Amino acid sequence: MDTKVSTARVARSACRSCTTYCPINVTIEDGRVQTIEPNRDAPIYDGFICPKGYALKEAHNDPKRLTHHLKRLPDGSHVPISSEQLVEEISAKLRTLIAERGPRAVSTFLGGANTNQPASGALQFSFLHAIGSDSFYYVNTIDQPGNFMADALHGTWAGGRMRPEKLDVFVLIGSNPVISKQYFSQNPGLQLKQLVKGGTKLIVIDPRRTETARRAHVHLQCIPGEDPTIVAGLIHLVIANGKVNSAFVEQNASGLAELREAVKDYTPDYVASRAGIPEADLREAARIIGEAGHGDIGSGVGPSMATRGTLTSYLIRCLQTIRGFWGAAGDEAVRPHVLLPRRAFKAQPNAPRPAWGFGRTLRVRGLQQTVAGLPVGALCEEILTPGPDQVRAMFLHAGAILTWPQTDLVKRALESLELLVVHDVEYPLSPTAQLAHYVIATMKTFELPFTSQQNELVGMTHAGYGWVDPYAAYYPALLPPPADADLMESWQIYYRVSQKLDIRLKCCGFFGDPGAAPEFNMQREPTTDEVLELMCRDSAIPLAEVKRHPDGHIFDEAREMIQAREPACSARLDLANAAMLDELKAVRTESITVRRGTSAEFPFQFIASRLQNTTNASYRPADALKTGYNPAYLHASDMERLGLARGDRVEIRSRHGAITGFVDVDNDLRPGVLAMCHGFGKGPGQDYDPRRDGANVNNLLHWEDDYDRYNGMPRMSAVPVSITPIRSTLNQ
Ligand SMILES: Nc1nc2c(c(=O)[nH]1)N[C@H]1C(S)=C(S)[C@@H](COP(=O)(O)OP(=O)(O)OC[C@H]3O[C@@H](n4cnc5c(=O)[nH]c(N)nc54)[C@H](O)[C@@H]3O)O[C@H]1N2
Ligand SMILES: Nc1nc2c(c(=O)[nH]1)N[C@H]1C(S)=C(S)[C@@H](COP(=O)(O)OP(=O)(O)OC[C@H]3O[C@@H](n4cnc5c(=O)[nH]c(N)nc54)[C@H](O)[C@@H]3O)O[C@H]1N2
Ligand code: SF4
Ligand SMILES: [Mo]
């Protein structure tokens, strides 16, 4: 008879496989995760989790996890190394490098891996600050940097956006919340349904009839890369229809006459034919926007990656301003802070400020620091180009080999570093970790305490993140790491190396004066909970209070009303930034076909598009996708023209490189468009099977292709490609 007493318990936690942080109930038995269920007692989410939430069970129990740090030997193989020895060796290397090369030779890159380990971002920043290096690179410069740039150039509205429940119209440009959870993040399907049911008209601009576009009143299924044209066309029509909110503009903005002039030639017939959309639909979209009392506009990676992301974001801000689509005095503010310092909302502009021209200029193509940070677009060459400030050491919190354009250059750059430190959780090693001198084996989701602060932070610069209402949550660590494991949390490497180097580390955040930040006790290592406590030190609601609500909570006391404008406020939003309007004029006069780059040789446009069951290059359980690989989606008419059937093998070639793909049908795509998700495949020379590993679409991209002259973001969508069937049956 089995006398074993069950030790099963149900604990509350949150998924962190994307920044939505869905609340979950985790059943744990004998140290293993038995089931994952949505936490239906949590507010806002309505019991939603996506398949990646359920997959946390496999992710946690995966016996192949990395349990020890690894050190790379000269032959490229890796051997285990203890935490102590790892810190010792990395510190010694840094000491020499800083002495010989100066602190700028040491850099960090903050990417998606930070979602799981939010203390790592703060500590990276603090560490660089302490050693005197400003070589801090952030994924922002390939993740919608145009938002930062446009906010600076246009100015921002201190009252924030309008409340979703009041909206007459919501315009979504190249973003697909149902899959990505960017905008309407918590249970996006239900939120969108309720939004539309409540009377909001949804306008979607996307070359694909997305899961989101199915709810749209108007879907402009455009040719990729034509977002500046379309938004300029909408501005043209709003002005022509006499729908400028004159009272708002007169009080809060300048440059309307110049904007009107700049969009003059973006006539509906020109825009419709250039963007490949019905003119009547464009007019209908403009009519709805023009008649709406309350509206909001959001954009995603689509327009950002299809070049001119800054211009598109700038024009979107202008469209919002001429319609007065900003929070009004007396209304309740959206995205008030809970775990960040309290933010006051006022119905007035914050004046524009320079987006570039104030900071460090890199040695690569004149690229420079912008309000979005140092350009990742210059990083590989900054690593490879000898001279002062050459980057020689990097702490990399990302899957760069699968997520940065021009994979061969990325690999060459990472391989040439004198010190590459990568954090990871998986074994066999990810394509990026394979290149590291040291791979730090890190804790997994349920082994880490967690707060929701990070998503609030992202929401400060991107309206698609954060919580509309003052929601926050804290979750304790649920499980210890395996008994035989020697792991580290991402932030600990910075603390421990600082200890060895005799550096006094402060807990800087991404806001406030780093000089005024509190110092860590360098004699006694803090716990992660203590670090989180420090990160939330001036929060609107004390972390201790948030901890009292194990299901997460909406803190009514953190609600903010939008205050009236200050009588002395003279700031104005700028509708006529010279650089932006010059670029817009250039768009109107350029050759469309030359610009687009499609030709008889490269007749298709490859677009960026995400899949439900994967997040970037993050760890994914073996059965996350039925296919295993990332399918190359085409419209059936294109497949027929090419003589292809589902699952057929093709070569996809751009002007910069080629990949092997397997086609699949997606009749929601605009014909002529190839959609494929990033984050798959391997790096050059790494053991690779396209059917098993998928294709690394970043091989098709190049840092110098149509890059933004300031933030360096290259063309990552709307990329001209050819598709050629591979008839051989080898490897099929
Ligand atoms: N072609 C193309 N490229 C793109 C994009 C695109 O649309 N198209 N999107 C871009 C965008 S928007 C972004 S944000 C970036 C994101 O790309 P990255 O910034 O590279 O982020 P991730 O892919 O999430 O990073 C995952 C890596 O971190 C490791 N890792 C380290 N620590 C941890 C941990 O604690 N837990 C887990 N689970 N993993 C850890 C994982 O194993 C994996 O190697 O990609 C960009 N690249
Ligand atoms: N499931 C899942 N969720 C994720 C991620 C993930 O990898 N998987 N990544 C997370 C990250 S890092 C980010 S930044 C967000 C991104 O969130 P989103 O911006 O919503 O990303 P996508 O879902 O790829 O949606 C991009 C849309 O742009 C469209 N598009 C492509 N090219 C163009 C163009 O030229 N013009 C227009 N108008 N549209 C175009 C595509 O068809 C697609 O529908 O998602 C986050 N959430
Ligand atoms: S991956 Fe899915 S379950 Fe996890 S937080 Fe994002 S939406 Fe929620
Ligand atoms: Mo992103």
- How many other C-beta atoms are found inside a 10 Å radius of the C-beta of residue 77? 9
| Ligand 2 atom 32, closest CA | 302
Q: What is the total count of domains within the chain?
A: 3
Is there an atom of ligand 3 within 6 Å of 23 CB?
no
Buried b / exposed e across 241-260, counting CB within 10 Å, b at 16+? eebbbeebbeebbbbbeebb
In a domain, 318, yes or no: no
Q: What is the pLDDT of residue 274?
A: 98
pLDDT score of 374 more than 90: yes
Is there an atom of ligand 2 within 6 Å of 535 CB?
no
Q: How many A from CA of 112 to the centre of ligand 4?
A: 7
In 3-state terms, what secondary structure has residue 299? strand
- Domain enclosing residue 657, as ranges: 596-729
Task: For residues 657 and 706, state if they share a domain.
Answer: yes
Q: How many A from CA of 610 to the centre of ligand 3?
A: 14
Buried b / exposed e across 66-76, counting CB within 10 Å, b at 16+? bbbbbbbeeee
Mutate to test the pocket of ligand 3, among 16, 20, 44, 450 (most ligand atoms within 8 A of CB): 20
pLDDT score of 632 more than 80: yes
Task: For residues 76 and 30, state if they share a domain.
Answer: no
Q: Please state, in angstroms and rounded to a whole number, the distance separating the CA atoms of residues 669 and 604.
A: 12
Q: How many A from CA of 447 to the centre of ligand 4?
A: 25
Q: How many A from CA of 499 to the centre of ligand 1?
A: 29
In a domain, 301, yes or no: no
Residue 132 belongs to domain with CATH number: 3.40.50.740
The counts of H helices and E strands in the chain are: 25, 32
In a domain, 700, yes or no: yes
Closest ligand, as measured to the CA of 433: 1
| Ligand 1 atom 19, closest CA | 111
What DSSP state is assigned to residue 482? P
731 confidence band (pLDDT: 50, 70, 90) = very low
Select the more confidently predicted residue: 198 or 114. 198
Is there an atom of ligand 1 within 6 Å of 23 CB?
no
Task: For residues 502 and 623, state if they share a domain.
Answer: no
pTM for this predicted structure: 0.97
Q: What is the pLDDT of residue 387?
A: 95
What does each C-alpha distance from 446 to 48, 56, 310, 403, 525 come to in angstroms? 19, 9, 38, 25, 21
Q: Please state, in angstroms and rounded to a whole number, the distance separating the CA atoms of residues 648 and 630.
A: 13
Is there an atom of ligand 3 within 6 Å of 94 CB?
no
Is there an atom of ligand 2 within 6 Å of 203 CB?
no
Is there an atom of ligand 3 within 6 Å of 18 CB?
yes
Q: What is the pLDDT of residue 221?
A: 98
Residue 39 belongs to domain with CATH number: 3.30.200.210
Average pLDDT rounded to a whole number, residues 51-68: 95
513 confidence band (pLDDT: 50, 70, 90) = confident
Ligand 2 atom closest to the CA of 223, numbered from 1 = 35
Is there an atom of ligand 1 within 6 Å of 15 CB?
no
pLDDT score of 316 more than 50: yes
Q: Among 61, 80, 99, identify where a domain stops.
A: 61
Mutate to test the pocket of ligand 2, among 227, 274, 301, 618 (most ligand atoms within 8 A of CB): 301
Task: For residues 517 and 600, state if they share a domain.
Answer: no
Q: What is the pLDDT of residue 732?
A: 43
Select the more confidently predicted residue: 522 or 729. 522
Is there an atom of ligand 3 within 6 Å of 17 CB?
yes
Q: Are 459 and 338 in contact (CB under 8 A)?
A: no
Task: For residues 514 and 600, state if they share a domain.
Answer: no
Q: How many A from CA of 300 to the centre of ligand 2?
A: 6
643 confidence band (pLDDT: 50, 70, 90) = very high
Alpha-carbon dihedral angle through residues 445, 451, 456, 462, given to the nearest 10 degrees? -10
Ligand 1 atom closest to the CA of 616, numbered from 1 = 23
What DSSP state is assigned to residue 224? T
82 alpha carbon, distance to own chain's centre: 33
Task: For residues 85 and 114, state if they share a domain.
Answer: yes
Closest ligand, as measured to the CA of 303: 2
| Ligand 3 atom 3, closest CA | 53
Closest ligand, as measured to the CA of 220: 2
Q: Are 86 and 69 in contact (CB under 8 A)?
A: yes
pLDDT score of 6 more than 80: no
Is there an atom of ligand 2 within 6 Å of 616 CB?
yes
Task: For residues 513 and 365, state if they share a domain.
Answer: yes
Average pLDDT rounded to a whole number, residues 258-274: 98
Average pLDDT rounded to a whole number, residues 105-112: 96
Preceding omega of 428 cis (within 30 degrees of 0): yes
Task: For residues 80 and 43, state if they share a domain.
Answer: no
Q: How many A from CA of 393 to the centre of ligand 2?
A: 31
Is there an atom of ligand 2 within 6 Å of 174 CB?
yes
Is there an atom of ligand 3 within 6 Å of 53 CB?
yes
Q: Are 103 and 96 in contact (CB under 8 A)?
A: no
Task: For residues 516 and 607, state if they share a domain.
Answer: no
Q: What is the pLDDT of residue 445?
A: 95
What does each C-alpha distance from 702 to 84, 431, 680 come to in angstroms? 40, 19, 17
Is there an atom of ligand 2 within 6 Å of 469 CB?
no
In a domain, 26, yes or no: yes
pLDDT in tens, 583-610: 999 999 999 999 999 999 999 999 999 9
Average pLDDT rounded to a whole number, residues 554-579: 98
In 3-state terms, what secondary structure has residue 616? coil
Q: What is the pLDDT of residue 623?
A: 84
Is there an atom of ligand 3 within 6 Å of 52 CB?
yes
Q: How far apart are the first and last CA of the chain?
A: 51
| Ligand 2 atom 47, closest CA | 180
Q: Please state, in angstroms and rounded to a whole number, the distance separating the CA atoms of residues 105 and 99.
A: 10
Task: For residues 46 and 108, state if they share a domain.
Answer: no
Average pLDDT rounded to a whole number, residues 623-637: 94
Task: For residues 688 and 641, state if they share a domain.
Answer: yes
Q: Please state, in angstroms and rounded to a whole number, the distance separating the CA atoms of residues 417 and 432.
A: 13
Closest ligand, as measured to the CA of 615: 2
In a domain, 583, yes or no: no
In this structure, the strands spanning 253-254 and 573-574 are: parallel
Is there an atom of ligand 3 within 6 Å of 506 CB?
no
| Short-list 374, 464, 414, CA closest to 713 | 374
| Short-list 691, 681, 696, 695, CA closest to 627 | 691
Q: Helices 268-275 & 279-291, crossing angle to 10 degrees?
A: 120
Q: Among 495, 530, 565, identify where a domain stops.
A: 530
Q: What is the pLDDT of residue 184?
A: 96
In a domain, 278, yes or no: no
Q: How many A from CA of 143 to the centre of ligand 1?
A: 11
In a domain, 582, yes or no: no
346 alpha carbon, distance to own chain's centre: 28
Mutate to test the pocket of ligand 2, among 15, 206, 282 (most ligand atoms within 8 A of CB): 206
Q: What is the pLDDT of residue 5?
A: 65
Is there an atom of ligand 2 within 6 Å of 617 CB?
no
Is there an atom of ligand 1 within 6 Å of 436 CB?
no
Average pLDDT rounded to a whole number, residues 254-271: 98
Task: For residues 374 and 522, state if they share a domain.
Answer: yes
Q: How many A from CA of 618 to the centre of ligand 4?
A: 12
Q: How many A from CA of 26 to the centre of ligand 3?
A: 14
pLDDT score of 150 more than 60: yes
pLDDT score of 683 more than 90: yes
Q: How many A from CA of 21 to the centre of ligand 3?
A: 6
Q: How many A from CA of 99 to the centre of ligand 4?
A: 35
Is there an atom of ligand 2 within 6 Å of 173 CB?
yes
Whole-number mean pLDDT of the chain?
A: 96
**46 Ramachandran zone, left/alpha/beta (phi>0; psi -120 to 50):** left
In a domain, 399, yes or no: yes
Helices (H), 435-527: 453-459, 492-500
Query: Which residues have a Cβ under 8 Å from the Cβ of 543 and sit 6 or more positions away?
Result: 339, 451, 474, 532, 533, 536
Q: What is the pLDDT of residue 727?
A: 82
Share of the chain above pLDDT 90, in %: 94
Closest ligand, as measured to the CA of 431: 1
| Ligand 3 atom 6, closest CA | 18
Residue 638 belongs to domain with CATH number: 2.40.40.20
In 3-state terms, what secondary structure has residue 474? strand
